[in-house]
């Protein structure tokens, strides 16, 4: 029996209240995102790219339809079950890092595993190995506000990988970085995420990510469509 797709969208619709009306973001979307592939999602600002990631992660639920992630229908899970699925199998990397400022870099990395029930001492070797891989071995005890933007994003990437997620979601991961820092993050994603065989879904405006794409998608007019050209 073949493995389920990483993500299946079946008749997915989503709208939000906007003033006195409603803004339709997705309307009856049917798409499948293959497991173990890198999916790059393009689209104008406000087109629904971040909403797509929120639906895939179970942070938002569709108004209609099914969102199946790693074989599980998120619309049939409780909030606690969706949270558990995220913690154990899905990682999120944000544009603005979302590191916890009162924790050291190392403590930020240990937290996701601890939330899954692991002991810090058991996860510490994995966390230190990842910090070394992203060039931050000497910043383990530093607090996030002492790191540059590029260093914070590398720390956020390392944190995302501590639990060995099957699905990694990235929302404009280099959108807040200069060209050199962005290029370094891109190289690390290729080496640490793509090479691991995890499924990657990245929302971006940057053309540099196109070279990693196994599948290119475009969000437009309420649809998620396969794309073949550059943005």
Over the stretch 53-112, which tens digit does the pLDDT of each residue have? 999 999 999 999 999 999 999 999 999 999 999 888 999 888 887 899 999 999 999 988
Domain membership of residue 108 (yes or no) is yes
Task: Give the bridge partners for 15, in sequence order.
Answer: 24
| H or E element at residue 186 | helix 179-192
Q: Is 3 helix (H, G, I), strand (E, B) or coil?
A: coil
Residue 129's domain comprises 7-226
The residue with greater pLDDT, 27 or 17, is 27
Domain membership of residue 40 (yes or no) is yes
Residue 230 pLDDT greater than 50, yes or no: no
Report CA dihedral (141, 144, 146, 151) to the nearest 10 degrees: 100
Residue 229 pLDDT greater than 60, yes or no: no
Q: Is 41 helix (H, G, I), strand (E, B) or coil?
A: strand
Residue 214 burial (10 A CB sphere; 0-12, 13-18, 19+): middle
The residue with greater pLDDT, 120 or 216, is 216
Across all residues in the chain, what is the average pLDDT?
89
Q: For residue 3, which of 62, 81, 83, 68 has the smallest C-alpha distance?
A: 68
Q: What percent of the chain has pLDDT over 70?
A: 97
Domain membership of residue 95 (yes or no) is yes
In this structure, of 21-25, 63-67, 156-160, 164-168, the range with the lowest mean pLDDT score is 21-25
Q: Are 74 and 61 in contact (CB under 8 A)?
A: yes
Number of domains in the chain: 1
Quote the pTM value. 0.90
Domain membership of residue 231 (yes or no) is no
Q: For residue 160, which of 219, 216, 202, 206 has the smallest C-alpha distance?
A: 202
Q: Are 204 and 44 in contact (CB under 8 A)?
A: no
Domain membership of residue 210 (yes or no) is yes
CATH of the domain at 12: 3.40.50.300
Antiparallel, parallel or unpaired: β 223-226 and 215-220: antiparallel
Domain membership of residue 2 (yes or no) is no
Domain membership of residue 37 (yes or no) is yes
Residue 206 pLDDT greater than 90, yes or no: no
Q: For residue 153, which of 167, 170, 141, 137 has the smallest C-alpha distance?
A: 170
Domain membership of residue 93 (yes or no) is yes
Within 23-174, residue ranges assigned H as helices are 49-57, 79-89, 105-115, 120-133, 149-161
pLDDT band, very low/low/confident/very high, at 231 (cuts 50, 70, 90): very low
d(CA 64, CA 14): 7
Q: Are 192 and 157 in contact (CB under 8 A)?
A: yes
């Amino acid at each position: 029996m073949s493995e389920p797709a990483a993500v299946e969208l079946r008749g997915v619709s989503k709208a939000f209240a906007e003033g006195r009306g409603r803004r339709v973001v997705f309307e009856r979307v049917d798409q499948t995102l293959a497991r173990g592939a890198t999916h790059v999602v393009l689209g104008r600002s406000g087109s629904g790219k971040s909403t797509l990631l929120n639906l895939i992660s179970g942070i938002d639920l569709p108004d209609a339809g099914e969102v199946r992630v790693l074989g599980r229908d998120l619309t049939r899970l409780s909030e606690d079950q969706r949270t558990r699925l995220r913690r154990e199998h899905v990682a999120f990397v944000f544009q603005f890092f979302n590191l916890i400022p009162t924790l050291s870099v190392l403590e930020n990395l240990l937290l996701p595993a601890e939330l899954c029930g692991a002991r810090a001492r058991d996860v510490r070797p994995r966390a230190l190995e990842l910090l070394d891989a992203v060039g931050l071995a000497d910043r383990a005890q530093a607090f996030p506000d002492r790191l540059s933007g590029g260093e914070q994003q590398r720390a956020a990437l390392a944190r995302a990988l501590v639990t060995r997620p099957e699905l990694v979601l990235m929302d404009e991961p280099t959108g807040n970085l200069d060209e050199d820092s962005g290029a370094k993050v891109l190289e690390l994603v290729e080496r640490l995420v793509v090479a691991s065989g995890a499924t990657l879904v990245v929302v971006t405006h940057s053309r540099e990510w196109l070279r990693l794409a196994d599948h290119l998608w475009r969000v437009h007019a309420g649809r998620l469509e396969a794309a073949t050209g550059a943005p």
